[in-house]
């Protein structure tokens, strides 16, 4: 055979193989028929678990997926957070830990189907419910509404997400079997046209698999939309679930509990929430025995890193920011370890597997290490190298100075002598009040604190208010009222203070600490130290001796700590450590003299002290 003929034959053979692989990849089908989900024409019971790729270090995605598969799950479910994928207006990022397509492909490689929740609104105890902060700078715009500007921006987001995920649907050879429209909208509103517009945008972005909505069982009438399966959450009343779904879905099922809760989320200053293993076993057994499909929220929670935790607030509920740990009392704990609940639920699922199906062996987990206490030898006050301020007659919000997260120090000057009440109108969310370099008050939105007494001498006094964004509201009617910082005016004895300078501390990267050994300042302090490792492993940073702040290790923002609890440790994944020298930076707001840290093998997630002690 000539070389030319051989080349033609080789190309033809390669094309044949590619065509064969393509045909195989399109072999699967997923449909709704009567009371059943049909996978490849056969009834399929979805046994899914929620895990959010953005809450898990990318290096651990596969390990977490394998642990979920070994529990008996055939499907995983994840949100896509708009503020992760488009952190600044028009600047999309689908790389690193934001690479949702890579997570979905990895799930397929591990033999798992995928449910995608790409809605512009997520909730999920995530900052602003997943909305990017910059939406708040669109004057007069309302999220979760037909507001034209909001719709335009949401459409652009869906288009970009569609480019990433539409090729990964089962209709195109991928693992995505269903897509959710909005999220628990019935608990917020009843604008059916708004829901249809969401559906239309998703269809236009390339999503062509079955759609579903998800609402509390008593809110399905408000949150369902024609053409989408109404899934429910918060109930295991089988008869009521079936009756509700039939009412809003052509008289048939399938019946899908889109969020079943084997655990719950946690907020600062309150005890860690748990759901007993016995109760979980009973509930899951009931669900599966009646043939319902289910998604457990969460199968594995992970960690809400940096400043991405959300908060709850209502007229009857004080502002309640969530902790950084999203352990959720889930069957797979924050560090990816199987719990007693994991083994118990695995035994339940095993009873309902198709004949001949065997569960995979439970994977081994990363080793856990401890590190003895050591001192952070370098320190500097935030005053050491102040950023350039933004000046204004009245205080400006974080959003007005284009700062998403972190802290802002508000400074003005007051002619003394003056004694009386300082009022901060709408302090969002935590403030340290300083007069002439001395701390005079700590104000906490959780405790409805917005005022304090001041006594200023006969001089030109410097008044500083150091304000922390503790997380934007992620659920409920106040989601459009989410600006951070000082939202209105500051008065002293009723007289408005003017002439402000705003110093921003977004801490979007690990701060550099000048080589100072100590600071006498009463302002928040940044401390830095290092530690050496011969071997790496997962570990937990024990912050019980500290007050309140955030921590970086080797450039990774680990999240918040706060001595009020319940969380007293921060999970440190092994891939973020390295053999040899490691750098740790702590930003401390309250306990300024503390300088020693230690790492432990065991998380401490339920140690609450008096929240008024801050």
- The predicted structure's pLDDT at residue 19: 40
- Look at residue 364 and tell me if it is in a domain: no
Cβ-based neighbour number of residue 5 at 10 Å: 9
**Final residue before a domain boundary, out of 488, 505, 522:** 505
CA geometry: angle 565, 589, 417, nearest 5 deg:
125
Question: CA–CA separation, 140 vs 41, rounded Å?
Answer: 49
Confidence of residue 15 (pLDDT cuts 50, 70, 90): very low
- The pTM (predicted TM-score) of the whole model is 0.94
- The predicted structure's pLDDT at residue 430: 98
Distance, C-alpha 298 to centroid of its chain: 12
Question: CA–CA separation, 63 vs 69, rounded Å?
Answer: 10
Across residues 293-312, what is the average pLDDT? 98
- Look at residue 327 and tell me if it is in a domain: yes
Q: How many domains does the chain have?
A: 3
Claim to verify: residue 279 and residue 174 sit in the same structural domain: yes
Claim to verify: residue 501 and residue 453 sit in the same structural domain: yes
Burial class (CB in 10 A: 0-12, 13-18, 19+), 401: middle
**Final residue before a domain boundary, out of 450, 475, 505:** 505
CATH number assigned to the domain comprising residue 448: 2.60.120.260
Claim to verify: residue 125 and residue 78 sit in the same structural domain: yes
Kindly give, in sequence order, each residue whose CB lies less than 8 Å from that of residue 25, ignoring residues fewer than 6 positions away.
173
pLDDT digit string, tens, across residues 83-141:
999 999 999 999 999 999 999 999 999 999 999 999 999 999 999 999 999 999 999 99
Claim to verify: residue 181 and residue 274 sit in the same structural domain: yes
Claim to verify: residue 488 and residue 561 sit in the same structural domain: no
Across residues 249-276, what is the average pLDDT? 97
**Which amino acids are annotated catalytic?**
184, 259
**Final residue before a domain boundary, out of 505, 538, 557:** 505
| Average pLDDT, rounded, for the chain | 94
- The predicted structure's pLDDT at residue 18: 43
Claim to verify: residue 533 and residue 498 sit in the same structural domain: no
Question: CA–CA separation, 17 vs 53, rounded Å?
Answer: 33
- Look at residue 363 and tell me if it is in a domain: no
Confidence of residue 27 (pLDDT cuts 50, 70, 90): confident
- Comparing 14 with 136, which gets the higher pLDDT? 136
Cβ-based neighbour number of residue 13 at 10 Å: 10
**Structural domain for 575, as ranges:** 371-380+514-613
Claim to verify: residue 57 and residue 96 sit in the same structural domain: yes
Claim to verify: residue 433 and residue 567 sit in the same structural domain: no
pLDDT digit string, tens, across residues 428-453:
999 999 999 999 999 999 999 999 99
Distance, C-alpha 145 to centroid of its chain: 23
Q: Is the pLDDT of residue 17 over 80?
A: no
Claim to verify: residue 376 and residue 401 sit in the same structural domain: no
- The predicted structure's pLDDT at residue 514: 79
| Host H or E run for residue 344 | helix 340-350
Kindly give, in sequence order, each residue whose CB lies less than 8 Å from that of residue 83, ignoring residues fewer than 6 positions away.
126, 127, 128, 130, 131, 132, 133, 308
Q: Is the pLDDT of residue 512 over 60?
A: yes
Confidence of residue 218 (pLDDT cuts 50, 70, 90): very high
CATH number assigned to the domain comprising residue 330: 3.20.20.80
């Amino acid at each position: 055979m000539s070389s030319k003929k051989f080349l033609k034959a080789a190309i033809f053979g390669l094309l044949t193989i590619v065509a064969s692989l393509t045909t195989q990849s399109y072999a699967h089908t997923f449909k709704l028929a009567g009371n059943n989900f049909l996978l490849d024409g056969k009834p399929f019971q979805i046994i899914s678990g929620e895990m959010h790729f953005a809450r898990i270090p990318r290096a651990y995605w596969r390990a977490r997926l394998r642990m979920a598969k070994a529990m008996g799950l055939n499907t995983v479910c994840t949100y896509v957070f708009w503020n992760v994928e488009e952190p600044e207006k028009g600047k999309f990022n689908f790389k690193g830990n934001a690479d949702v397509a890579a997570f979905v492909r990895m799930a397929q490689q591990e033999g798992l189907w995928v449910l995608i929740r790409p809605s512009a609104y997520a909730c999920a105890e995530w900052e602003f419910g997943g909305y990017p902060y910059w939406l708040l700078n669109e004057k007069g715009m309302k999220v979760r509404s037909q507001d034209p500007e909001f719709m335009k921006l949401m459409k652009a987001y869906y288009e970009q997400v569609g480019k990433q995920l539409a090729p990964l649907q089962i209709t195109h050879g991928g693992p995505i079997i269903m897509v959710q429209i909005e999220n628990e909208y019935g608990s917020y509103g009843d604008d059916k046209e708004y829901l249809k517009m969401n559906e239309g945008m998703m269809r236009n972005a390339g999503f062509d698999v079955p759609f579903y909505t998800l609402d509390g069982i008593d809110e399905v009438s408000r949150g369902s939309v024609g053409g989408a399966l109404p899934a429910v959450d918060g109930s295991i009343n089988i008869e009521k679930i079936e009756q509700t779904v039939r009412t809003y879905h052509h008289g048939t099922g399938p019946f899908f509990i889109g969020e079943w809760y084997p655990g719950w989320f946690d907020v600062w200053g309150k005890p860690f929430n748990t759901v007993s293993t016995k109760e979980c076993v009973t509930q899951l057994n009931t669900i599966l025995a009646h043939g319902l499909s289910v998604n457990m929220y969460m199968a594995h929670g992970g960690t809400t890193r940096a400043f991405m935790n959300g908060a709850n607030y209502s007229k009857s509920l004080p502002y309640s920011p969530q902790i950084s740990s999203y352990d959720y009392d889930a069957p797979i704990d924050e560090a990816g370890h199987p719990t007693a609940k994991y083994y118990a639920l695995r035994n339940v699922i095993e009873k309902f597997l198709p004949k001949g199906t065997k569960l995979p062996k439970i994977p081994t987990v990363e080793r856990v290490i401890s590190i003895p206490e050591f001192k952070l030898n370098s320190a500097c006050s935030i005053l050491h190298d102040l950023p350039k301020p933004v000046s204004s007659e009245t205080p400006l919000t974080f959003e007005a100075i284009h700062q998403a997260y972190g802290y802002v120090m508000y400074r003005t000057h007051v002619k003394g002598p003056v004694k009386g009440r300082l009022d901060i109108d709408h302090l969002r969310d935590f403030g340290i009040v300083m007069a002439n370099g001395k701390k005079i008050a700590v104000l906490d939105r959780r405790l409805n604190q917005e005022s304090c007494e001041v006594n200023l001498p006969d001089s030109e006094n410097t008044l500083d208010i150091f304000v922390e964004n503790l997380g934007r509201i992620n659920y409920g009617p106040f989601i459009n009222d989410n600006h951070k910082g000082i939202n209105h005016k500051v008065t002293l004895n009723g007289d408005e203070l003017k002439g402000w300078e705003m110093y921003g501390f977004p801490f979007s990267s690990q701060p550099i600490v000048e080589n100072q050994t100590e600071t006498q300042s009463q302002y928040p302090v940044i401390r830095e130290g290092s530690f050496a490792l011969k071997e790496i492993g997962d570990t937990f940073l024990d912050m019980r001796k500290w007050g309140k702040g955030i921590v970086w290790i080797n450039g990774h923002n680990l999240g918040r700590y706060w001595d009020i609890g319940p969380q007293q440790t921060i999970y440190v994944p092994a891939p973020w450590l390295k053999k040899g020298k490691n750098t740790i930076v702590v930003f401390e707001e309250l306990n300024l003299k503390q300088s020693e840290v230690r790492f432990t093998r065991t998380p401490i997630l339920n140690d609450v002290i008096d929240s008024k002690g801050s």
